Copies of this chain bind each other. A is one copy, B any other.
Amino acid sequence: MTVNELIRKKRDGAALSPDELRYIVDGFVQGLIPEYQMSSFLMATFFRGMSVEETSTFTRLMLHSGEVIDLSGIPGVKVDKHSTGGVGDKISLPLAPIVAACGVPVPMISGHGLGHTGGTLDKLESIPGFTTSLSIAEYKKVIAEVGVVMIGQTKEIAPADKKMYALRDVTATVECIPLIAGSIMSKKLAEGSDALVLDVKTGRGAFMPTYERSLELATALVGIGNSFGKETIGFITDMNQPLGMMIGNWLEVVESVECLRGKNVSDIMELTYVLGGAMVMLGKKASSLKEGMERCNEVVKNGKAYEKLLQLVKRQGGDTSFIEHPEKYPQSKYSQKINCPQSGFVTAIDSLELGFTGIALGAGRTRVDDVIDPKAGIVLTKKVGDAVNAGDTVAILYTDNKNAIESSAKRIEKAFAIGPAKPKPSPLIISQVDKNGVKPFKI
């Protein structure tokens, strides 16, 4: 068996055996297979895909390239959520404390922002003092004590994925469903949860712009999860407009805190309750999705979810006074209102464009070594379906970078499409994918 033969086999459309995949993944991690052969294999995989068995084997090899955390000592069914990434997608922030407050332990390992999307890690790190770099021992302690823990990927978790992702990033082999699925799931399976809820975004602001591709990804992810004995439910959700009203790291923390304090930002809470309901159900604290959603609603109403957030922030070193009094937080040097040039209805908000504009304002990175401005971002004052009059403010931008204001304001103005008629509402949660297949979402 030579690498060249295996590349050729994949290139010509055949499936590789587990031994053949092991030869490639292990050889690459150990430095026996050079990057120029690996990148050629990855490109062949881009074109030929992988079978269900290959994707599962590939994920297992990446998973076992590093440490697999054992949380069997923690009582209860541990459940985590993963989102494929969107704009204004701060769902993890209200969701994790809500589910933990329902009695389901939530061990969560998150990432930094990627491309035009924000990352949970960057949002958490905007809280003064909050640390996302815990050792695995400390990670286990926090979940045992608080019932929820939120950290970043450690070097012990799936090193094969880290090495392979770096290569994919520079060889145009990122957008490949089995490789994406293996990358996501090898990390999620390593963190010690027993079950998993997935939020697979679709539309303009998602990495998978079409419903078909999102469904393909959701099916691959759910298939892998279940093949590893972790019950997995996926939801395909709309990312054609940003989630909630705020985009930017600290801004999204503030909006999440407001939601936990009872404010009903409708799309955020709709999605949080569905994902949370599924997690509570998988965590055996409810017998149906509907009942799980009711549990989640209760812990928001009675303040237990908010208390859980404060407990988590404190335990991971964060200053809870900023959570309790967000007005204490430093303000951006500059802000500017973006007004609507015409009357009518908001028919679309280009979330991809707003994601990139947020980065230009300082809310994200364009290079690995860029420093994020946690205050920077965009607050929307109108969303799709809202009526507007010419001159109404539709959004406000915040930044410390004076040079970014003018062009960003223009981009935001253009991101709002205004039409004469109120658009038909489209569902936020489109479909559900689980071991029984795909079905339109219905509570």
Contacts and interface: CB of A to CB of B under 8 A. Distances in A.
Interface of A: 3-5, 7-8, 11, 34-40, 42-44, 46-47, 167, 169-173
B172 A43 contact: no
Given A43-B43, A46-B11, A47-B47, A4 B37 contact: no
Contacts of A167: 36
A172 B39 contact: no
17 contacts: A4-B169, A4-B170, A5-B172, A7-B43, A11-B43, A35-B36, A36-B167, A36-B171, A37-B39, A39-B39, A39-B43, A40-B43, A40-B171, A40-B172, A40-B173, A43-B44, A43-B47
Nearest to A7: B172
Query: How many identical chains are in the complex?
Result: 2
A34 B170 CA distance: 10
Given A4-B171, A36-B39, A40-B171, 13 more contacts: A4-B172, A5-B172, A7-B171, A11-B46, A11-B172, A34-B36, A36-B38, A36-B171, A37-B39, A39-B43, A40-B173, A43-B47, A44-B172
A42 B4 CA distance: 14
Contacts of A42: 40
Contacts of A35: 34-36
A40 B37 contact: no
A287 B36 CA distance: 51
A340 to B, nearest CB: 35
A37 B47 CA distance: 16
A79 to B, nearest CB: 37
Nearest to A168: B40
Nearest to A43: B43
A171 B2 CA distance: 11
Contacts of A7: 43, 171-172
Nearest to A173: B40
A4 B175 CA distance: 13
Contacts of A171: 4, 7, 36-37, 40
A13 to B, nearest CB: 11
Contacts of A47: 43, 47
Contacts of A172: 4-5, 7-8, 11, 40, 44
A107 to B, nearest CB: 34
Contacts of A4: 169-172
Contacts of A38: 36
Task: Give me the 8 closest cross-chain CB pairs, A-B, nearest first.
Answer: A43-B43, A35-B36, A40-B171, A7-B172, A8-B172, A39-B40, A36-B39, A36-B36
Contacts of A8: 172
Contacts of A11: 43, 46, 172
